[in-house]
Amino acid sequence: MSSFEENSALIALNELRNLEESRVADEEAERQAKEEAERAAREAAERKAREEAERKAAEEAARLAKEQAEREAREREERLRLQEAELRAKAENEARLAEEQMRLDAQVAMAEKKARPTWLYAVVGVLVISIGGVSYFGYTKIEEQRKRQEAKDAAAAKLAEQQKQALEALQGELGKLQEEQNRLESEKKALDKKLAGVTNEQERQRLLAEKARLDTELATNASKRSQNKKKSNKAKEDKPKKKRIEIDRGADDPLAGL
């Protein structure tokens, strides 16, 4: 074989080698680009899910705060209404007492001109005590109802706060579980890369065992997140509802008809 033929063969061999290297480099670049695109898509989906969870948590917190503010406003209005009713009842009773006192004073004055009978003074005393007793009874009854309602409102507010704290704890736990899910998926991805390039069978079996462990942890994490979501939804459904305050207006209530 001449020197020219040998050089031609070497040149052709070098070109083939360069083409093969170029092909391998292109395939590697394509593989890396595909993995990068998948990673970017997965991170975008995780980020979107995390942002959605945060948005829902913020909306729920705002809704709970709004309900709390509305409940407090209703309680203030109810307390004011009760106070106004008490003051109105007291003023009316005092007005009736003053009117009756004036009427009796007029009767006593007229009677004094005749015979000054002492029994009228006894009647005045009995009427004053009776009217005062009715006023006290009405005020005491309203005060007892107000205290019972305040106790009910306090219990409802305490229960609402406990449920709010439980809901926040569940949401915090969901966030931690999501972070753990992301960490496990990142570890699994790293293991997949190692498995793709491992040649030692013993190392490959070790990596497969590690991957199986990660799969188990991922399944456990997903189960915990599902349970926490169910608990969170149940906590939202079990919130106490505000009951309308009803004041007992019996036949002996001096405020009946107000």
Tens of pLDDT along 32-45?
989 888 888 888 88
- Tokens in use for 236? 């939202």
Q: Going by C-beta distance under 8 Å and a sequence separation of 6 or more, which residues neighbour residue 136?
A: none
Query: Residue 100: is its pLDDT beyond 70?
Result: yes
Query: How far is 236 from 49, CA to CA, in rounded Å?
Result: 20
- Tokens in use for 245? 């305050």
How far from 184 is each of 6, 137, 204, CA to CA, in Å?
57, 70, 19
User: What is the residue extent of each domain of the chain?
Assistant: 52-237
Q: What is the pTM of this model?
A: 0.32
Q: Determine the pLDDT at residue 131.
A: 59
Angle at 14 (CA atoms; ends 12, 16), nearest 5 degrees = 70
pLDDT in tens, 109-132: 777 666 555 555 555 565 556 556
Average pLDDT on 50-64 reads: 89
Query: Residue 221: is its pLDDT beyond 60?
Result: yes
- Tokens in use for 26? 């292109």
CB 215 within 8 A of CB 192: no
Average pLDDT on 207-227 reads: 84
Q: Going by C-beta distance under 8 Å and a sequence separation of 6 or more, which residues neighbour residue 245?
A: 78, 149
Angle at 23 (CA atoms; ends 22, 28), nearest 5 degrees = 95
Query: Residue 193: is its pLDDT beyond 70?
Result: yes
Q: Determine the pLDDT at residue 203.
A: 83
